[in-house]
Structure 1
C-alpha cells in the first residue's frame, strides 16, 4: 500500500515537471514578442530592447525557466502584461465561477451517468437499455454550444424559469447561485453523462456475467444487493477512471460554456489572454489547471484501493 502511494506521488511530481517545461517552452517559442506588444506599434527598437531587458527575456531559456519555477514555488505567478496586476489575483477573481461550474457539472455527470449505466446494464437488451443507449449516442453527437442555445431558448426565453446568462457568487444566496448554474451545468454535463453511462454499462455487464454473481442470485440475494453491494463495487475501477479523465474534456468545455452563458470564469480569462498574448496570465492559468487535473487523477488512483483491495498488496 505504501509503495503504491509512493509510486503514484512520484509519478505525479514527474508529470507536473513535464507540464511545466511544456507550458514554458510552448509560450516562449510561440511567435510574437511580448515586449513589442507592451511598447506598442510605434515604439522604437531601443524602447523594446529596454523592456526585454526588464522582463528578463534576453536571458537564456534555462535561466528564464529556473527563475519562473522559483517564482511559482514562492506563489508568484507573475504580473499581467496588460492589466498590470498579479496573475494570482486575476485568477482568484475568476476561479469561483469556473470551480462552481466544474464541480456541479461533475457531480451531476457522475450521479446521473452511473445511475443510467446501472439501469441499462440491469435491463440489457430491454426498452430501458435501448433508450439510454440512444441518449448516450445523441449526447456524444450534439455539440455543447448547440445544447446550450437550445436550453436557453426553451427554459430561459420561452418558459422564463431560469436566467439567460450571467453568474452570481454563492455569497448572494444558495438558490440565486444555483439558478445561474443549472443551465450551464446541464449543458456541459450531457456528453459526460453519456460517456460515464456507457462505461458504467459495459463494466456492470462484465461483472454481472461472473460466476459469483450467479451464485449470489442462487442464494437469493436481492436485486439491490447484487447491483450495489457486489456488481458496482467490483466495476468501480473503470468508472472512477472515466470520471477522472472527464476533467480533461471539461477544461475545453468550460471555455465554450462560459462564453455561451457569459460567465466570467477562468476560461474567459484564458481566451482574453491568448488574444492579447498575455504570457504570464496564460502560463499561470495553464499551470494551475494542469496541477488541479494531475491532483484529481492522483486522488482517483489512490481511491482504487477502496474499490479493489488487491491494489493494497
Structure 2
C-alpha cells in the first residue's frame, strides 16, 4: 500500500510539472501582448517597451519560466497586471461563490444521479428506465447556458419564485445565500445528473448479470440487499471514476454558469483576466485548478484500493 501511494505521488509531481510548462507556454505563445493593452491605443513604442521591461516580458522565455516557476513553488503567484493586487488575494476573494456552487452542484448531481441510475437498473426495460434514459439523452444534448436561460425565464421572470441573477455571501444569512444558488445549481447539475445516472445504470446492469448475483437471488436475498450491498459496492470503481472526472468538466461549467447568472466567482475572474491578457491571474487560477484536479484524482485512486484491494498490487 505504501509503495502504491509513493508511485501515485511521484506521478502527481510529474503531472504538475508538465501542467506548469503547458500553462506557461500556452499564454506566452498566444497572440496578443499585454503591454499593448496596458499602454492603450495612443501609446508610443517607447511606452510599450518600458512596460514590457517592467513586466519582464523582454527577457528570454526560459528565464521567464524559471522566475515564474520559482515564485509558484515559494507560494508567490505574482501580482495582477491591471489591478496591482496579489493574485492569491484576488482569487481568495472570489472563492466563496465558486466553492458554494461547486459543492451544491456535485452533491445534488451525485445524490440524484446515483439514485436515478439504481432505479433505472432495477426497473430495466420498464417505463421508469425509458424515462430516465430519455432524460439522460436530453441532459447530454442541451448546453448549460440554454438550461440556465430557460430556468431564469420560467422560475424567475415568469413565476417570480427565485432571483434572476446575483449572489449573496453566506454571512448575510443562509436563506439569501441558498436562494440565489438554486437556479445556477439546477442549471449546472442537469448534465451531471444525466451523466451519473447513465454510468450507474450501465455499471449496475453489468454487476447484476454476474453469476454471484444470480446465486444471491436464488438464496433469497432481497432486492435492497442485492442492489445496495452487492451491486452498488462492486460497481463503485467506475462510479468513483466518473465523479473524479466530472470535477474537470464542472470547472468549465462553473465559468459558463457564473457568466449567465452574474455570479462574482473565480470563473468570472478568469474571463475578465483573459479579456485583459492578465497573465498572472490566468496562470495562477490554472495552476490552482490543475493542482486541485490532480489531488482529487489521487484521492479517487487511493479510494479504489478500499473498494477493490487487488488494485494495490
State the TM bucket, normalised to the shorter chain: over 0.9
Counterpart CA distance in 1 for 2:4 and 2:122 is: 34
Counterpart CA distance in 2 for 1:225 and 1:189 is: 29
Counterpart CA distance in 1 for 2:305 and 2:150 is: 42
1:185-196 residue pairs with structure 2 within 5 A?
185-196=185-196
Cα deviation code 1:216-272 (max 9, x no counterpart): 111111111111111001000001111111112112211111111110111111111
CA-atom RMSD in angstroms: 1.2
Q: Does 1:84 align with 2:47?
A: no
1:103-252 residue pairs with structure 2 within 5 A?
103-252=103-252
| Equivalent residue, structure 2, for 1:18 | 18
Q: Does 1:3 align with 2:3?
A: yes
Work out the number of aligned pairs and report it.
313
Counterpart CA distance in 2 for 1:54 and 1:158 is: 53
Cα deviation code 1:84-130 (max 9, x no counterpart): 11111111111111111111111111111111111111111111111
Structure 2 length as normaliser, TM-score?
0.97
Deviation at 1:71, TM superposition (A): 0.9
Deviation at 1:196, TM superposition (A): 0.9
Counterpart CA distance in 1 for 2:161 and 2:37 is: 45
Cα deviation code 1:42-86 (max 9, x no counterpart): 233233222222222222222111110111122211111111111
Counterpart CA distance in 1 for 2:168 and 2:191 is: 25
Does the CA contact (< 8 Å) of 2:114 and 2:196 recur in 1?
yes
For structure 1, the residue ranges without an aligned partner over 5 or more in a row are none
1:290-301 residue pairs with structure 2 within 5 A?
290-301=290-301
| Equivalent residue, structure 1, for 2:280 | 280
| Equivalent residue, structure 2, for 1:65 | 65
Q: Which moved more, 1:53-62 or 1:39-48?
A: 39-48
| Equivalent residue, structure 2, for 1:255 | 255
Counterpart CA distance in 2 for 1:150 and 1:15 is: 39
Does the CA contact (< 8 Å) of 2:39 and 2:47 recur in 1?
yes
Q: Does 1:93 align with 2:93?
A: yes
Partner SS for 1:80: coil
Counterpart CA distance in 2 for 1:158 and 1:178 is: 20
| Equivalent residue, structure 2, for 1:45 | 45
| Equivalent residue, structure 1, for 2:266 | 266
Counterpart CA distance in 1 for 2:233 and 2:167 is: 37
Counterpart CA distance in 2 for 1:292 and 1:265 is: 17
Deviation at 1:175, TM superposition (A): 2.1
| Equivalent residue, structure 2, for 1:307 | 307
